[in-house]
Amino acid sequence: MTASPSQTGGVEAIVRTCIESVASDKNLPNAVVRRLIRLADSVASGELDPSARTQMERRIELVINGFDVTD
């Protein structure tokens, strides 16, 4: 993560940190955490509307696929 959230308009830094720490406690794969945060960023910045069902499903699929990524 290079850009800070206030520049990109995504979730607050504090929220991002909490997601990362809770996810690591749960041993979630890195790919999943990254994609989950990107999803939250998109919703927070208004880029993705949570009621846009098809797009949301697509993005959630990407997060779920992260479980199969070996990195």
Q: Are 33 and 68 in contact (CB under 8 A)?
A: no
Distance CA 8, CA 64 (A): 24
Kindly give the residue spans of alpha helices, DSSP state H, lying in the chain.
Answer: 5-8, 13-25, 30-44, 53-65
Token representation of residue 41: 């960023």
Name which position in 1, 3, 30, 67 contacts other proteins (CB under 8 A).
Answer: 67
From candidates 1, 2, 3, 9, binder to other proteins by CB under 8 A: 9
Q: Does residue 60 touch other proteins according to CB under 8 A?
A: yes
Nearer to other proteins, 1 or 9 (CB): 9
34 or 56: whose CB is closer to other proteins? 56
**One of 1, 2, 34, 53 touching other proteins (CB under 8 A):** 53
